[in-house]
Chains A and B, each alone.
Chain A
Amino acid sequence: QKEVEQDPGPLSVPEGAIVSLNCTYSNSAFQYFMWYRQYSRKGPELLMYTYSSGNKEDGRFTAQVDKSSKYISLFIRDSQPSDSATYLCAMSDGKFYFGSGTKLNVKP
């Protein structure tokens, strides 16, 4: 079993939709949780990072961590075609573990 599981997609949604991206994990020692966005042929860009359970909001993005269920989510409101990218979750217990990435396509 992988440390971090992420549905590879692709996920296709119409412009303006609310997008929900998710990862599950098995290691209860993970303390830091991150979401990255990667456009084709570019390095990943850090979108959000959280430390504790709960929600963290930044503009159209909301990161949610549920440590009891070992589940994290990234919500994108009012999705735009420019949000089309691969989204990677990552976690750290001193060592980093990445999900395999979910490819998102937002259709105009």
Chain B
Amino acid sequence: GAVVSQHPSWVICKSGTSVKIECRSLDFQATTMFWYRQFPKQSLMLMATSNEGSKATYEQGVEKDKFLINHASLTLSTLTVTSAHPEDSSFYICSARLELGTDTQYFGPGTRLTVL
């Protein structure tokens, strides 16, 4: 199956700092990638849809100035949490959309962010 990587797998930072998370599709090109947030024992919450070469589309209630998304190439999307605060602590998961013969998403392993 298609492989999506995420880096880092976990990060601890101080309040007020910015954190960048990378999402890469390793063996296929993805014009669309998605960013999700997941709280413990809860389902995935879509934050934004990232399209290569254009601005991301954010879901209602997600601050685009706080969660900066860049999809600079067909294999890389980044999520930057700016001026992170403890309430931003969560599990962030990206996925890449594969539309060749099907329409599905392949997920990365996730990044656990803890803001102190």
Contact = CB atoms under 8 A, between A and B. Distances in A.
B104 A41 contact: no
Contacts of B110: 41-43
Contacts of A57: none
Q: Which of A32, A43, A51, A101 has the most CB of B within 10 A?
A: A43
B109 A42 contact: yes
Contact of A90 (B1, B91, B105, B109): B105
Q: Size range of the interface on B? A: 10 to 19
Interface residues of A, number: 21
A51 B102 contact: yes
Nearest to A95: B49
Contact of B91 (A41, A46, A101): A41
Nearest to B111: A43
Contacts, number: 47
B93 A43 contact: yes
Given A41-B110, A41-B112, A42-B109, A92 B43 contact: no
A88 B95 CA distance: 14
B22 to A, nearest CB: 14
Interface of B: 1, 4, 6, 34, 43-44, 91, 93, 95, 102-110, 112
Interface of A: 31-32, 34, 36, 41-46, 49, 51, 88, 90, 92, 94, 96, 98-101
